[in-house]
């Protein structure tokens, strides 16, 4: 009871603080930095989508960090679940109806294509690597929902995940090499003509890499979370020589559980 009262009072206090902030309202004009981005953005980067310009170039380090966070949470999730036993899945419950399965198979290719379209056009239209990657992963989700037992192409995903991330860094280092600044755009690739697919220098390349990275990352995350014991892309102890170890871990766990009962 006391808890609830204290909670309510505290929330009222926070609400009071929010009211103060609300009275500030939203701005009526662009700030100095965003005005620069808007006025000079096209000239400097030739990316029609200014948000992409900000995300990939001006604040590229944030985006690298963002990709890192995603990579980290997938790795972390797999790490946390590493000792989890794989539950035997009831075949009927794990598999959706024939209609859904066929529908899913039909839809996956267009969904993925759409995702790729989004991140390839990230510098021209709304969306980009993250959005496109999420769409790609949603295709994978559809497959998994239709059939939980379905084995994903882990090898391919691992390569995609690792190399796209590494290539992002290489692209950043190219900027450092050419223009003396990490993730710089100018001088690495020709900037091209504004509002064309092949424009904005290295931005679409990076955004494509991000799309691949995010897509494989989110797919791996779904895989880890839906199936427990990680067999997700490239992290798997169950792969290449880790199998014995994984088995031992599971055995040990079982013994422990038995002992407790």
Partner 1 sequence: MNAGTLYLGAGFALVLTGLACALLRRNLLRMVLGFSIVDTGVHLIIASIGTLTGRTAPIIDDPALLSDATTLAVDATAVVDPIPQALVLTAIVIGVGVTALMLTYIVRLHDRAGTLDVRELRDLKW
Partner 2 sequence: MNPVLFIAVPLGAAFLLPLVRRMGDRAARGLAGLTFAFVLAAVVAWLPALGNGAMLTVTTGGWPAPFGIALRFGLAEAVLIALSAAAALGSFGAVSSRAGRDATSGGVRGLVIVLLMVVGANGLIMTRDLFNTFVFLEIVSIATYALAATGDESRGLEAGFKYMFLGAVASAFILIGIAMLYRLTGTLSIDGIAESLMVGGAGAVPMFALGVVLLFLFAGFLVELKVFPLNGPAIDLYDGVSPAVMALTVATALNASVYAFWKLMPIFRAVDLTLVLMVIGGATFVLANLFALRQSRVRRMLGYSTSAQLGLIVMLMPLAHSGDVSATAVGLLLVNHTLAKAGLLWFAGSVGKQTLVEWKGVLAGSPAARLSLAALVLAIVGMPPFPGFWGKWDALVALSRGPHAWWIIPVLAGSLLEFIYYFRWLRLAHVPAEDAETKLEPTGSLVPAHAFGIIVLGAGLALSSRLVTSSTDAVLTLAGAGLVLLIAGQLPGRLLQFLSLAAVAASGWMLHQAGSLAPTSITGFFMLIVLFGAFTVVLAGIGTPPDRKRYHGLFLLLVASLVLLVDARGPLGFFAGWELMTWTSYLLVAQGQRGGRPAFRYMLFSGAAGFLVLGGILVALGAGVTTIGDFAHLAGPAALWTAILLGAGFAVKAASAGAHVWAPDAYTESPDLFSAFLSGVLSKMPLFGIVLFGTRLVAGADPALIGGTYGPGYALGWLGAITAIGMTLLAALQEDAKRLLAYSSVGQIGYAVVGFALLTPLGWTAALYHTVNHMIIKLLLFLAIAAVINRTGTRRMHEMGGLIKKMPAQYIAVLIGIIALSGVPPLSGFAGKWLIYNALIEKEWYFIAGVLMFASVIAFLYLFRLINTIFLGQLKPRHREVREAPAVFVVAQALLVFAIMGLSMFPDALLRVTTAMTAPFFGAAGVELAADGSVLVSLGYLNAFGVMAMVMGLFAVFFAWVLFLGPKTTKVGQLDIVMAAEEPPAPEEIHYAYDFYRPYKRAFAPVLRVSVERGWSRFAAVLSAVAEYGRRFYTGDAQTYLLYAVVFLGIAAVAVLSRLG
Among 138, 185, 199, 208, binds partner 2 (CB under 8 A): 185
What would you measure as the largest C-alpha separation in the chain, in angstroms? 70
For residues 13 and 240, give the distance between their C-alpha atoms in angstroms, rounded to a whole number: 56
Between residue 165 and residue 224, which ones bind partner 1 under the rule CB under 8 A? 194-195, 214, 221, 224
**Contact at 8 Å (CB) between 147 and 91?**
no
Q: Which stretch binds partner 2 (CB under 8 A): 73-81, 109-117, 119-127, 135-143?
A: 73-81
Among 106, 156, 176, 198, binds partner 2 (CB under 8 A): 176
Q: Does 243 bind partner 1 (CB under 8 A)?
A: no
Question: Shortest approach of partner 2 to residue 195 CB, angstroms?
Answer: 21
Q: Which stretch binds partner 2 (CB under 8 A): 69-77, 109-117, 144-152, 192-200?
A: 69-77
**Contact at 8 Å (CB) between 202 and 170?**
no
Question: Shortest approach of partner 2 to residue 215 CB, angstroms?
Answer: 15
Q: Does 48 bind partner 1 (CB under 8 A)?
A: yes
What the block records as the tokens of 56 is: 């990939």
Among 111, 141, 230, 231, binds partner 2 (CB under 8 A): 230
User: C-alpha dihedral over 108, 112, 114, 118, to 10 degrees?
Assistant: 160
Cα separations in angstroms, 193 against 38, 42, 67, 126, 201? 17, 10, 28, 19, 10
**Contact at 8 Å (CB) between 150 and 231?**
no
Query: Among 182, 177, 151, 185, which Cα is nearest to 41's?
Result: 185
Interface residues with partner 1 (CB under 8 A) are 4, 7, 11, 14-15, 18, 21-22, 25-31, 33-35, 37-43, 46, 48-51, 53-55, 59, 62-63, 65-66, 69-70, 72-74, 76-77, 80-81, 84, 124-126, 130, 194-195, 214, 221, 224-225, 228
């Amino acid at each position: 009871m006391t808890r609830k009262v204290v909670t309510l009072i505290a929330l009222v206090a926070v609400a009071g603080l929010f009211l103060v902030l609300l009275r500030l309202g939203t701005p009526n004009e662009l700030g100095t930095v965003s005005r620069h981005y808007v006025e000079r953005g096209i000239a400097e980067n030739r990316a029609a989508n200014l948000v992409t310009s900000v995300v990939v170039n001006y604040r590229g380090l944030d985006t690298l960090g963002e990709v890192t966070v995603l990579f980290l949470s997938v790795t972390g999730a797999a790490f946390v679940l590493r000792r989890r036993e794989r539950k035997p899945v009831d075949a009927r419950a794990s598999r959706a109806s024939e209609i859904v399965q066929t529908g899913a198979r039909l839809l996956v290719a267009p969904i993925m294509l759409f995702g790729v379209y989004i991140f390839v056009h990230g510098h021209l239209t709304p969306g980009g690597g993250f959005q496109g990657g999420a769409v790609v992963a949603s295709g994978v989700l559809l497959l998994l929902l239709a059939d939980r037992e379905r084995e994903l192409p882990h090898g391919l995903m691992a390569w995609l995940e690792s190399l796209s991330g590494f290539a992002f860094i290489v692209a950043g280092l190219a900027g450092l090499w050419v223009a003396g600044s990490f993730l710089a755009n100018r001088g690495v690739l020709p900037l091209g003509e504004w509002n064309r697919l092949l424009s904005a220098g290295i931005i679409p390349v990076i955004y494509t890499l991000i799309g691949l990275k995010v897509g494989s990352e989110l797919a791996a995350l779904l895989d880890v979370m839906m199936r427990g014991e990680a067999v997700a892309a490239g992290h798997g102890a169950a792969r290449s020589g880790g199998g014995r170890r994984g088995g031992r871990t599971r055995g040990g766990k079982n013994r422990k559980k038995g002992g407790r009962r």
